[in-house]
Amino acid sequence: MSNNCNKKECDEVWYFAYGSNLYIPQMLARVGEWKTSKKALLRGWRLKFNHYSKRWCAGTANIVKTKNPNDVVHGVIYLLNRQKLKVLSKYEGKSARLQKITVESEEKGIEAKTYIFNQTKPNLKPAPAYIQTIVDGLIQHGYGEEAINTIPIPKKRGD
């Protein structure tokens, strides 16, 4: 019987993080170490704060497909053991579904899994600490101002 991957490779999966799982200390606390991580772009999608989190008592990140190639979500892909995705699923909750997507990393298309939230509400405001967690995570993975400026941070009144 022929197989396209050895057992170890079949047990690994790329996971695309775009919210607080960008933050390395959080990922380490949740899943322990991973094999590698890389910057990745998800084109034709937009970052939205339309999922309410009890943990943050505010809106949290979700992604919404737009099909516009100019829309892009900056994130990271982590190469994880499949068992670690089960651990992440417990943190993400029952309203998150694991979906297969294709991201760009190092100018190549890579198949990855990510969480998309089914229960959404328009115009939720994220907690400042949550936004800072995303920003810190982007910086930890080598992103600069250009990527940080794509985060759709709600404006304060009077701005």
Summarize the confidence of residues 61-90 as an average pLDDT.
95
Summarize the confidence of residues 77-100 as an average pLDDT.
94
The domain segmentation of the chain, as residue ranges, is: 7-148
Q: What SS3 state is found at 122?
A: coil
Top CATH class of 7-148 equals alpha beta
Q: Give the mean pLDDT of the chain.
A: 90
Summarize the confidence of residues 42-46 as an average pLDDT.
96
pTM: 0.90
Say if residues 53 and 66 touch (Cβ distance below 8 Å).
no
Predicted pLDDT of residue 153: 76
Could you say which DSSP state residue 65 is in? E
